[in-house]
Amino acid sequence: MDVGAIFQAAFALVVGLDPGFLGIVFLSLRVTLTAVLIAALIGLPLGAALALARFPGRAAIIVCLNALMGLPPVVAGLAVFLLLSRSGPLGPLGLLFTPTAMIIAQVILVLPIVIALTRQVIEDLWSEYRDHLRSVGLDGLRAIPTLLFDGRFALATALLAGFGRASAEVGAVLIVGGNIAGYTRTMTTAITLETSKGDLPLALGLGLVLLSLTLMINAIAFGASRIGARYAG
């Protein structure tokens, strides 16, 4: 097949809304969105608490979290694999090679990003707001809801960064999901497989969807920062 024909076939897949193709796209979105949601629920309050709290070892935690932002996905995948494998501590749950396992792995990848960026955003905001918030009686952890709300635009960007990382990675979901057709096959693992098999139209079609997804995320992030700038003055 020449390149033109491959592109044509890929477009046909995307436009034709092929059920198998759509299944892969939806599973990918489901796994990644769930992972980002869970990471946000844990990471936003935790990051804010880390921004406000002062305790021994805080600096070490911050350095570790920043380092974890660059955690190789395959390593995260391996860790979850060991945890969930039949002889592992969580083996009896039978989660290995399920979408749930992929969500767990992606939460581990996204969480450090959310916590680290939240900490930065909230710490900056706190240094600006501290006097006023303490004056009206919001000190320490009681200030967190206000700070999270007022940091909403910057924090949305942090969540989108997490979404970007999770949707693009292949190593972790491949290891713990197993790339089972129709069950744990995501866009990235499908591209890996189809490329090595030589089914380039499918790989390319999924690649196009991934690309436009990335484009969309960046457009949203840009919009959020623009709206934020309006409120931030």
CA angle 23/183/42 to nearest 5° reads 90
Burial letters for 117-155: b for 16+ Cβ neighbours within 10 Å, e otherwise? bbbbbbbebbeebeeebeeeebeeeebbebbbebbebbb
Q: Is 120 in the site for another protein (CB under 8 A)?
A: no
The verdict on 2 binding another protein (CB under 8 A) reads: no
CB atoms within 10 A of CB 168: 15
**Residue 62 CB contacts under 8 Å (≥ 6 apart), including other chains:** 50, 116, 119
Binding-site member from 19, 60, 131, 182 for another protein (CB under 8 A): 131
SS3 198: coil
Stretch that binds another protein, among 46-54, 131-139, 186-194, 206-214 (CB under 8 A): 131-139
86-92: long-range pairs with CB below 8 Å, 24+:
none
Q: To the nearest whole angstrom, how small is the minimum distance from the Cβ of residue 136 to another protein?
A: 4
103 near 38, Cβ under 8 Å? yes
Q: Which of 150, 214, 220, 225 binds another protein (CB under 8 A)?
A: 150
Task: Read off the tokens for 80.
Answer: 């979850």
Q: Which position among 5, 41, 134, 141 is part of the footprint of another protein (CB under 8 A)? A: 134
Report the residue number, 18 or 150, with the smaller CB distance to another protein. Answer: 150
- Note whether 129 binds another protein by CB under 8 A: yes
137 binds another protein (CB under 8 A): yes
Which region among 58-66, 87-95, 128-136, 194-202 touches another protein (by CB under 8 A)? Answer: 128-136
Size of the site for another protein (CB under 8 A): 18
Interface segment toward another protein; rule CB under 8 A; list 16-24, 62-70, 133-141, 158-166? 133-141
Beta strand residue intervals within 23-119, DSSP E: none
Cβ within 8 Å of residue 45, ≥6 positions away: 144, 148
Pick between residue 132 and residue 226 the one whose CB is nearest to another protein: 132
Least Å distance, CB 40 to another protein, is 19
Contact range with another protein by CB under 8 A, out of 124-132, 169-177, 195-203, 211-219: 124-132
Closer residue to another protein in complex, CB, 88/228: 228
Provide the b/e sequence for 53-91 (b: ≥16 CB within 10 Å): eeeeeeeeebeebbebbebebeebbbbbbebbeeeeeee
Cβ proximity to another protein: between 26 and 128 the closer is 128
- For another protein, the binding residues (CB under 8 A) are 128-129, 131-138, 146, 149-150, 228, 230-233
